[in-house]
């Protein structure tokens, strides 16, 4: 099942040169793992709440592959270039099956809660 790396990043202007180098090198770390950008620092249209910073969304074939990318020597080599100069949160998320139905999840959660 498809997995995603979702980052909420809050850069501190002006951007440090390391951040530019990180951005120039990250693609090469993802390619061996089938990772591809779906969202990369695009402007967000905030409909509810507030947003500080921006989002990056990367798709991977599955969770094991996403974990392997994050733990890879190639990614670990550049990671500090971002984390030393930018606050943020990065999570790995499992996708849902093609025929996912939220009503079934609601029913299961309600049953468990009423348990």
CATH of the domain at 86: 3.30.70.100
- Does position 101 have pLDDT exceeding 80, yes or no? yes
What pLDDT does 23 receive? 97
94, 63 contact by CB (below 8 A) = yes
Q: What is the reported pTM?
A: 0.91
CA distance 36 to 115: 41
Provide the number of structural domains found in the chain.
1
Q: What value does the mean pLDDT of the chain take?
A: 96
Provide mean pLDDT across the span 2-30: 96
Reply yes or no on whether the pLDDT at 42 is more than 80: no
pLDDT tops 80 at residue 18? yes
Parent domain of 73: 3-114
Q: Rounded mean pLDDT of 25-30?
A: 98
């Amino acid at each position: 099942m498809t997995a995603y790396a979702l980052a909420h990043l809050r850069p501190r202007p002006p951007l440090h040169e390391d951040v530019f180098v990180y951005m120039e090198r990250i693609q090469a770390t993802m390619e061996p793992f089938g990772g591809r950008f779906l969202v990369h620092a695009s402007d967000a249209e905030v409909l509810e709440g507030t947003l500080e910073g921006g989002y990056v969304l990367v798709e991977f074939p599955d969770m094991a592959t996403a974990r392997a990318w994050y733990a890879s020597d190639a990614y670990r080599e550049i990671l500090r270039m971002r984390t030393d100069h930018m606050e943020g949160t990065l999570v790995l998320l499992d996708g849902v099956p093609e025929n996912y139905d939220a009503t079934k999840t609601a029913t299961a959660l309600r049953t468990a809660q009423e348990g």
